[in-house]
Amino acid sequence: MVGYWATLALNIPDFTRYSKSQSGQAWGQALGLPLAMVLYTFVGIAVTSASAVLFGHPIWNPIILIGAFHQPFVAFIALIGILISTLNVNLGANVVSPSNDFSNLYPRLISFRTGGMITGLLGLAMCPWKLLATPDAFIYGWLIGYSGLMGPVAGIMIADYFLIRKTELDVNSLYHREGVYHYTKGFNPRAIIALVLGVGVALIGLFVPSLHFLYDYAWFVGFFVAGVVYLALMRIAAPTSVAPA
């Protein structure tokens, strides 16, 4: 579940930017995400467990479960629900952020709508049906695997904003090459080192059986390793100014 929400945790500003107040976005996330996911998780576990009782084996895929009833009316209603949920999830969680990213690369040529089309084409090129072929491939392969990358990114961002910047940013410097955030030709070598170490430690368990627990908790391992390394590097060899000008 952490891996599932790891991407949205990083691109949540694509949505909170439209909030009318800081408290509004805080309450919206606090009430909307944890409570809803607890409910959805319970429904998923309960339905899968019930399918084992009804059909003799657990059926985790909703599409296959619908077909097992052999009831056209039930399938019709259920497929409408799946269609609506799929559109909501993909448009809301999976398209908004990359569409903004592609658009920002070349705003004159790539609009938000074009960025969405590029996202869709790349999504097809990744062959997601192969990832969803089995629970092992989807959960233990894809979700945990890429959470090993998302965790270190989150660790660096949180360490920088809360511990290094003390929640204060020089907004003008964000848009100038001479600002304190430009570092070395636009890249912060300390952040890159922390990112590589965080991802490496998190994913090493995938190749070393005795350290497989590191991979099982890839997001948490990468988060703390990258965050601590970044904080140490910034404190030891910090640039001339890391505070708002």
Residue 115 burial (10 A CB sphere; 0-12, 13-18, 19+):
buried
Q: Which pLDDT value is given to residue 239?
A: 52
- What's the distance, Cα to Cα, between the start and end of the chain in Å? 40
Q: Give tens-digit pLDDT for 20-56.
A: 988 998 898 888 878 888 888 899 899 999 999 999 9
Q: Give tens-digit pLDDT for 76-119.
A: 999 998 889 888 877 777 888 899 899 989 999 999 999 999 99
69 secondary structure, DSSP code: T
Q: Which pLDDT value is given to residue 48?
A: 92
Q: Give tens-digit pLDDT for 173-222.
A: 888 888 888 888 889 999 999 999 999 999 998 889 899 999 999 999 99
What are the residue ranges spanned by the domains of the chain?
A: 128-245
pTM, 2 dp: 0.77
Confidence tier at 238 by pLDDT (50, 70, 90): low
Region of 113 (left: φ > 0; alpha: ψ -120 to 50; beta: rest) is alpha
Q: Give tens-digit pLDDT for 123-173.
A: 899 888 888 888 788 888 888 988 999 999 999 999 999 999 998 888 888
pLDDT at 244 over 60: no
